[in-house]
Structure 1
Amino acid sequence: MRYLRSDAGRLALAEVARYALTDSSLVPDIASAREQFGDRTAVIVETVKLRRKGAAKFERAAEWLFTDEALQQSTAGPVAEHRARRLRGAVVHDATCSIGTELAALRHWASFAVGSDIDPVRLAMAGHNLGLDGPDVALCRADALRPVTGDAVVLVDPARRSGSRRRFDPRAYLPPLDELLDVLRERNYAVKCAPGIDFAVVEQMGFDGEIEVTSLGGSVREACLWSRGLGDRGVRRRATMLDTGEQIDDTAPDDCGVAEAGRWIVDPDGAVVRAGLVRHYAVRHGLWQLDPDIAYLSGDQLPHGVRGFEVLETLAFNERHLRQAFSARDVGAAEILVRGVDVDPDALRTRLRLRGSTQVTVVITRLGSGAASRATAFLCRPSR
């Protein structure tokens, strides 16, 4: 750590950053670096590779220090920035600050930020990463289960990995979520959780605030637990789509209808689906459900900025019908979307043996329930 932060270390990192470090060049690149930097080569090369990997999350990744595990768990810059904006003007204590990625956003929005972590190496990295611009943030070593602040809003990001393995049970987080919520019961807090966390389990732990599910880059990134004092009044679920800037919560109307497909089929953003707000989203955009238990929506107009699928043909789903329809349309490539039907899109695509020149999207879903249930395929043209 000390070496990487020294002038010699910075020069070494800048030199190795010129190397390709691809699978084919890695061995000769490391041999070349070892001639110059000897035993320090491994840590220099690893740091350069982590910085390149981190560039997908952070604008300043080329100057930061990481560990592989810390980088994997760290919040992407735009997501951290969104959370920091919700905490504007507050005194905030990031009680699991790790390498400082949340603090980098908080320093621009909070009135004052404190960072603490139990790992001294990550704290040192946070000090380096936060020292690149602007005023310093207060850092100290402390256990998240024993907050060292009094009135600050507490932000916590429990570890959900052990090496390469994920922890799915929130009681297995570090620190355990049930213990954490108990410690923070009288505080205002925001706790970052895995997007797939079981909301019912969280409520069984006594959580009664807002759960915000956030997506970025087309994928769901996290579920954040906001204590009642920090959430909007009456809101228990919120979906935030950073790609479009749209938010929707469970106080919005949800009285959407169910009908056959119109011109367009819409597969709602994963944050909307995960937050259980499909009907609320449909009402906002003048859409309806194809089935009350399936997340696909339909409408005659496509919401602005949303990718949709223009329906070209509807048929009862089986592979023979689909193969005939594809042959008639000279289909050579197909995007296959599935909900409510036990179909493996990749295996189906292989069995169809597509050889044509056109491309389509096929939406396969179950419509109806019980004896009236039927698998239906919609051949579509994607809007983009």
Structure 2
Amino acid sequence: MRSDDGRRALTEVAELALSDSGRVADIATVRARFGDRTAALVETTLLRRRAAAKFADPSSWLFTDDALQQATTETVAAHRARRLAGARIHDVTCSVGAELAALRPVAALLVGSDIDPVRLAMARNNVPDVEVCRADALRPVTRDTVVLADPGRRSGGRRRFDPRAYAPPLDELFDAYRGRDLVVKCAPGIPFEQLGDLGFDGEIELCSSAGSVREACLWSAGLTEPGVRRRATVLDRGEQVTDADPDDCAVGPAGRWIIDPDGAVVRAGLVRQYATRHGLWQLDPDIAYLSGDELPDGVRGFEVLGEVGFDEKRLRRELAAHDAGACEILVRGVDVDPDALRRRLKLRGSQAVSVVIARIGTGAAGRAVAFICRSSR
């Protein structure tokens, strides 16, 4: 597919819809024109279309399905590149080159390597101006570079949750580059409590974009600020919160607004730091919901219209009093299935409302509370 003939063939196939309803006919057209190259041409075209969710312009890129699933979203890769600007960098699991593409404008020196020859060939197509070579990530081939790694977290289409089951295993990666500046991309659900046992002593950064937590990134101690061990980065707002920030927020009853903090803030365990920065308070010290009389700029909030102890009959009556029809339900600390509850409520009103359900208090003093709200957007 890297030849001029292959590029022309891909250009032709890209003009076909390849929709679910017409895919069989379109594939027959491709087969009549290109014979045994049909599967590769169709797969590449479909992968490029899927890649548009991660890359601004993947129209000339080559992917495998697994490589695209693991490839870093362009906005997240660009953020990491900004943190590494001016460094000499070796991406030891470069795959098809997503990180290399973001790093090449800012790195003082850049090289990529991977053990998979197919992905290396794709990287040479995707980032032709970056030097890449075949190498095992656990056998260092450069010195005096920041090492960037993105271990594989899938096997047979299934996710691996044990860091020792990554490819390469996280503990072996830490051992191989002990004493070196190291950056490791991980799944956001990685068990943080295991990282110290594996030999990691640095910063864990959680990144979110477009409302979703995209990844956890591990930064060795030499690449972060003194005293920072957790960081939440909300790329949509250009905001960062760390565990070195003040965390002396109060706990109190709901004010005008309820705020559900960004998932990166929650996952990083930085709810109190975020609340303190924005003049908010917690509804409960063990629940991530925050409250305040003003909304932080650019943040979605829920304006409180009413409050009842959570009971389905009481909630139904309260929602009927607000002429509720469409109903968004958010839950923390209470065993409630929002979709099932919504069906049981059988609302018939004309107004769109949000219901925030949370457990307030602990032990015998704890109670489930439902806040009837109007969303800010």
Give TM-score, length-normalised by structure 1. Answer: 0.97
Q: How many residues align?
A: 377
1:298 partnered with 2:291: yes
> Which digits, 9 at most, give the CA deviation of each residue in 1:14-37, with x for residues without a partner?
111111112111111111111111
**Structure 2: unaligned runs, 5 residues or longer:** none
Paired residue for 2:117, among 109, 120, 126? 120
1:259 maps to 252
Instruction: Indicate the residue corresponding to 2:186 in structure 1.
Output: 193
Question: What is the rounded CA distance, in whole Å, between the counterparts of 1:323 and 1:62 in structure 2?
Answer: 51
Instruction: Give the RMSD, CA atoms, in angstroms.
Output: 0.8
Aligned match of 2:200: 207
SS at match of 1:185: coil
Aligned to 2:35: 38
**Which residue matches 2:217?**
224
1:370, distance to aligned residue in structure 2 (A): 0.3
Is 1:63 matched with 2:56? Answer: no
Whole-angstrom CA distance in 1 between matches of 2:315 and 2:34: 60
Determine the structure 2 residue equivalent to 1:172.
165
Match of 1:77 in 2: 74
The aligned residue for residue 52 of structure 1 is: 49
> How far is the alpha carbon of 1:355 from its aligned partner?
2.3
1:67-105 per-residue CA deviation (whole Å, 9 max, x = no partner) reads 000000010001001101111111000000000000001
**Residues 228-249 of structure 1: CA distance to partner in whole angstroms, max 9, x if unpaired?**
0001111000000001000010
Give the counterpart letter for 1:106 in structure 2.
Answer: L
- Give yes or no for the alignment of 1:148 onto 2:141: yes
Query: For residues 287-346 of structure 1, what are the alpha-carbon distances to aligned partners after superposition, in whole Å with 9 as ceiling and x for unaligned?
Result: 000000000000000000101110011111111111112222221111110000000111
How far off is 1:268 after superposition? 0.3
Distance 1:123 1:262 in 2: 55
Once residues 2 and 349 of structure 2 are traced to their aligned partners in structure 1, the CA distance between those partners, rounded to angstroms, is 57
Secondary structure of the residue aligned to 2:223 is: coil
Structure 1 distance, partners of 2:56, 2:38, is 25
Uncovered stretches (5+) of structure 1, i.e. residues with no partner: none
Rounded Cα–Cα distance in structure 2 between residues aligned with 1:195 and 1:172: 16
Residue 367 of structure 2 aligns with an amino acid whose one-letter code is R
- Report how far residue 184 of structure 1 moved: 1.2
> Please, which of 176, 179, 203 is the counterpart of residue 183 of structure 1?
176
Q: Tell me the CA shift for residue 220 of structure 1.
A: 0.5
- Deviation of 1:206 (Å): 2.1
CA–CA separation in structure 2 for the residues paired with 1:24 and 1:319: 43
For the 8 Å contact 1:258–1:291, the answer to whether it is kept is yes
Following the alignment from structure 2 to structure 1, what is the Cα–Cα distance between the partners of residues 232 and 12? 44
TM-score by length of 2: 0.99
**Partners of 2:186 and 2:298 in 1: how far apart?**
28
Sequence identity, in percent? 69
For 1:371-382, what aligned pairs fall within 5 Å after superposition?
371-382=364-375
Where 1:10 maps in the other structure, the secondary structure is: helix
Runs of 4+ in structure 1 off by over 3 angstroms are none
Tell me which residue corresponds to 1:353.
346
Whether contact under 8 Å (1:314, 1:376) holds in the other structure is yes
- Deviation readout 1:103-153 (Å, 9 max, x if unpaired): 00110111110100000000010000012xxxx211100000012101100
Which secondary structure state, in structure 2, belongs to the residue aligned with residue 159 of structure 1?
A: coil
* Structure 2 CA distance for aligned equivalents of residues 140 and 336 of structure 1: 51
Partner Cα distance (1:19, 1:341) in 2: 49
